[in-house]
């Protein structure tokens, strides 16, 4: 009788390939969703600008790796300069609102008391008035939404702060939805753990490692570039999408044919 | 959509809803003039837990006597208190609070406790350490224009609010502009404040439906800001310093008054909603 074996030993090559395929699809879906998250956030700032009739609206999210607030999306005539700007989380109005979770509105700023003057100048637009509200989920503040210069009024009202808070709430929901279970390795680990005995933990780690090893590897970098481009194709019209599908089909068939040929010539040389 | 807009903490204090603030006053109406005339906050120390206070700003009137920064150590462990010789305000917000308090209570001494770290590490911990330091230093009134939503911090702030209360240290806290739990602003031992839009520092309302008990001027308030400047600001965090200033006047006039006595006087002298 053979000794008891862990799940990794029971997995044959086909099963592992299947898990790898699932993992790859998961990562592809995640990459596509990142585009979707950005699209939703963009639609939220666009709606914000329109509703406030403002010069600009933008959303900055805290990036724990950078330790900075990064402006992800913006809308409005004066909004675009801010995208990509990273600021310290205690800098200026955005930093204050992020750090304290307190929403506020400012206007009629004297020239020497500019809100985060460096920030404003870096974007090429110095506002006269601003409202900034935090994006708060159950774990804390994840970013901020700000609106600059309402055209119909010199200042933002208390009601404007609340309204901006509603948009910030929408943005938070959108972000949370796309971030949930984004981490494929932990998802896989959770699924396998629920199937296995506790003693199988090291084996589970091995499987997770094997399945996810190549996902973010450099050798597949070009594949991810393509996935990222596909994510940008939401703007394409039906004709363009059809053309693209046909091109991809031809290329994929060619690649599969070549792989099949290699397999056959491999077999011809003898068993592995 | 409209429903979502309604329940902010400042809602009871907007013009259309102020009539709802009416209640029978168990102590009758105390005479505001006899309580406040001639009061200037002498002998009172108001601590401002915020972004720092600009010592040289004209609105602070030279009343800033101490300035400290709360920081996390190298290993993110224990927060430390560092004296800030330069007395800087990294945003302008703390100077705004200081200016409002000084305008109401010109003889009160101000102490600045800067709790905005240079990064996002342990901000609740830094904030709590700032509050603990203020209580330990014997501050008479503490103005908190910020609060924490962290559930982890709930028991810590609850303990600090009780300690302040028993030490005769009155905590005045801005309610969050967006409704939701935030600490310590919603604790019973704290005076929680939201904004109304009547442009008068001497108009305040008592709200008989807690947790936010007071409404003070917090809409389009001209405030001091960093760089010696001024801005027009809106938010509950500009309402709280108005109540902190009034509390400083009461404590200057009645040095032994406890937090509940100060709260009682504030409620009994509040404006009747027109």
Q: Which of B149, B197, B219 sits opposite A101 (nearest CB)?
A: B149
- Touching B: A residues 48-67, CB under 8 Å: 62, 64, 67
Kindly report the CA angle at A28 between A23 and A31, in degrees rounded to 5?
125
**Which residue(s) pair with B194 in the sheet?**
B215
Average pLDDT over residues A69-79: 90
Q: Does some domain include residue B37?
A: no
**At A42, is the pLDDT very low, low, confident or very high (cuts 50, 70, 90)?**
very high
Task: Count how many pairs of residues, chain A against chain B, have C-beta atoms within 8 Å.
Answer: 144
Which of A143, A162, A164, A170 to substitute to test the interface with B, most B CBs within 10 Å?
A162
Count structural domains, chain B: 1
* Shortest alpha-carbon distance between residue B110 and chain A (Å): 21
Q: Mean pLDDT lowest for which of A178-182, A220-224, B12-16?
A: A178-182
Domain segments of chain A as ranges? 7-33+183-268, 37-179
pLDDT tens profile A9-28: 556 677 777 777 777 777 77
In 3-state terms, what secondary structure has residue A71? Answer: strand
Q: Among A8, A96, A9, A61, which residue's Cα sits nearest to residue A179? A: A61
Q: Which residues of A touch B180 (CB under 8 A)?
A: 136
In 3-state terms, what secondary structure has residue A38? Answer: helix
Q: Does some domain include residue B1?
A: no
Predicted pLDDT of residue A212: 77
Per residue, what are the HEC states of chain B? CHHHHCCCCCHHHCHHHHHHHCCCCCCCCCCHHHHHCCCCCCCCEEEEEECCCCCCCHHHCCCEEEEEEEEECCCCCCEEEEECCCCCCCCCHHHHHHHHHHHHCCCCEEEEEECCCCCCCCHHHHHHHHHHHHHHCCCCEEEECCCECCHHHHHHHHHHHHHHHHCCCEEEEECCCCCCCCECCCCCCCEEEEEECCCCCCCCEECCCCCCCEEEECCCEEEECCCCCEEEEECHHHHHHHHHHHHHHHHHHCCCCCHHHHHHHHHHCCCCCC
Higher pLDDT, B258 or A217: B258
Kindly indicate whether the domain formed by A37-179 is annotated with CATH number 3.30.1960.10: no
pLDDT tens profile B226-260: 888 899 999 999 999 999 999 999 999 999 999 99
From CA B192, how far away is CA A179, in angstroms rounded?
35
Q: Which residues of B touch A153 (CB under 8 A)?
A: none
Predicted pLDDT of residue A181: 47
CB contact under 8 A, A90 and B119: yes
Predicted pLDDT of residue B211: 87
Strands in B79-83's sheet, in edge-to-edge order, are B79-83, B64-72, B109-114, B45-50, B141-144, B170-174, B191-196, B214-217, B205-206
Residues 6+ apart with CB under 8 A from A92: A115, A116, A118, A119, B91
* Shortest alpha-carbon distance between residue B65 and chain A (Å): 23
Distances (CA, A) of B137 to A18, A117, B64, B168: 65, 35, 15, 12
| Residue B113 in this model has a pLDDT that exceeds 50 | yes
Burial of B101 (C-beta count, 10 Å sphere; 0-12/13-18/19+): buried
Average pLDDT over residues A163-188: 77
Residues 6+ apart with CB under 8 A from A117: A126
| Residue B112 in this model has a pLDDT that exceeds 90 | yes
| Residue B181 in this model has a pLDDT that exceeds 90 | no
Average pLDDT over residues B144-155: 80
The whole domain housing B149 covers 44-268
From CA A105, how far away is CA A135, in angstroms rounded?
15
A133 neighbors B178 (Cβ within 8 angstroms): yes
Considering only alpha carbons, which residue of chain A is nearest residue B221? A106
pTM: 0.78
From CA B255, how far away is CA A15, in angstroms rounded?
78
Q: Does some domain include residue B244?
A: yes
B162 neighbors B203 (Cβ within 8 angstroms): no
pLDDT tens profile A82-96: 888 998 888 788 888
Q: Which residues of B touch A165 (CB under 8 A)?
A: 8, 177-178
The complex's ipTM works out to 0.87
Predicted pLDDT of residue B37: 92
| Residue A35 in this model has a pLDDT that exceeds 80 | no
Average pLDDT over residues A229-252: 83
Q: Does some domain include residue B13?
A: no
Average pLDDT over residues B198-206: 96
| Residue B87 in this model has a pLDDT that exceeds 50 | yes
In 3-state terms, what secondary structure has residue A252? Answer: helix
Q: Does some domain include residue B6?
A: no
**At A113, is the pLDDT very low, low, confident or very high (cuts 50, 70, 90)?**
low
From CA A206, how far away is CA A190, in angstroms rounded?
14
Average pLDDT over residues A212-227: 67
Average pLDDT, chain B: 89
Kindly report the CA angle at A90 between A126 and A142, in degrees rounded to 5?
95
From CA B27, how far away is CA B12, in angstroms rounded?
23
How many residues comprise chain A?
Answer: 272
Q: Does some domain include residue B53?
A: yes
Average pLDDT over residues A136-151: 88
Predicted pLDDT of residue B5: 39
| Residue A112 in this model has a pLDDT that exceeds 60 | no
Higher pLDDT, A262 or A17: A262
CB contact under 8 A, A102 and B147: yes
Q: Which residues of A touch B148 (CB under 8 A)?
A: 101
Predicted pLDDT of residue B132: 96
Average pLDDT over residues B121-125: 76
CB contact under 8 A, A95 and B116: yes
Q: Does some domain include residue B237?
A: yes
Give the CATH number for residue B117.
3.40.50.200
């Amino acid at each position: 009788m053979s000794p008891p074996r862990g799940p990794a030993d029971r997995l044959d090559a086909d099963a592992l390939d299947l898990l790898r395929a699932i993992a790859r699809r998961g990562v592809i879906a995640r990459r596509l969703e990142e585009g979707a998250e950005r699209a939703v956030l963009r639609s939220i700032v666009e709606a914000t600008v329109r509703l406030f009739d403002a010069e600009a609206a933008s959303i900055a999210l805290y990036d724990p790796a950078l330790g900075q607030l990064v402006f992800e999306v913006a809308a409005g005539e004066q909004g675009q300069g801010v995208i990509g700007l990273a600021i310290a989380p205690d800098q200026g109005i955005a930093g204050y609102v992020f750090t304290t979770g307190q929403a506020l509105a400012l206007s009629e700023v004297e020239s020497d008391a500019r809100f985060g003057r460096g920030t404003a100048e870096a974007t090429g637009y110095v506002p006269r008035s601003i409202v900034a509200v935090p994006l708060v989920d159950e774990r804390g503040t994840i970013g901020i939404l700000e609106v600059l210069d309402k055209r119909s009024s010199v200042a933002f009202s208390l009601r404007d702060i609340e309204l901006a808070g509603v948009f910030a709430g929408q943005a938070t929901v959108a972000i949370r939805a796309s971030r949930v279970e984004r981490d494929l390795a932990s998802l896989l680990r959770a699924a396998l753990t629920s199937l296995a005995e506790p003693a199988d933990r090291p084996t589970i780690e091995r499987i997770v490692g094997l399945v996810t090893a190549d996902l973010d590897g450099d050798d597949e970098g070009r594949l991810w570039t393509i996935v990222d481009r596909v994510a940008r194709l939401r703007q394409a019209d039906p004709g363009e999408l059809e053309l693209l599908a046909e091109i991809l089909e031809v290329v994929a068939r060619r690649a599969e044919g070549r792989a099949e040929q290699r397999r056959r010539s491999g077999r011809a040389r003898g068993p592995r | 959509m409209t429903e979502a807009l309604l329940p902010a903490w400042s809602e009871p204090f907007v013009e259309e809803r102020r009539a709802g603030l009416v209640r029978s006053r168990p102590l009758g109406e105390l005479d505001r003039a006899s309580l406040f005339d001639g009061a200037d906050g002498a002998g009172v120390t108001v601590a401002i837990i915020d972004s720092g206070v600009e010592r040289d700003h004209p609105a602070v009137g030279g009343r800033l006597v101490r300035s400290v920064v709360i920081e996390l150590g190298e290993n993110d462990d224990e927060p430390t208190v560092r004296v800030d010789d330069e007395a800087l305000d990294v945003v302008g917000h703390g100077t705004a609070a200081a200016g409002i308090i000084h305008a109401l209570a010109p003889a009160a001494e101000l102490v600045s406790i800067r709790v905005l770290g240079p990064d996002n590490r342990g901000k609740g911990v830094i904030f709590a350490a700032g509050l603990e330091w203020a209580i330990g230093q014997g501050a008479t009134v503490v103005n908190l224009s910020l609060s924490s939503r962290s559930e982890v911090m709930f028991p810590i702030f609850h303990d600090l609010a009780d300690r302040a209360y028993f030490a005769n240290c009155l905590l005045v806290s801005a309610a969050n502009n967006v409704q939701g739990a935030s600490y310590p602003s919603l604790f019973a031992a704290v005076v929680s404040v939201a904004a109304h839009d009547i442009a008068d520092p001497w108009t305040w309302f008592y709200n008989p439906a807690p947790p936010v008990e007071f409404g003070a001027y917090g809409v389009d308030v001209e405030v001091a800001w960093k760089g010696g400047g001024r801005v027009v600001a809106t938010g509950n965090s500009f309402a709280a310093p108005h109540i902190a200033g009034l509390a400083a006047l009461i404590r200057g006039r009645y040095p032994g008054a406890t937090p509940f006595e100060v709260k009682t006087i504030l409620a009994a002298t509040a404006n009747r909603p027109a």
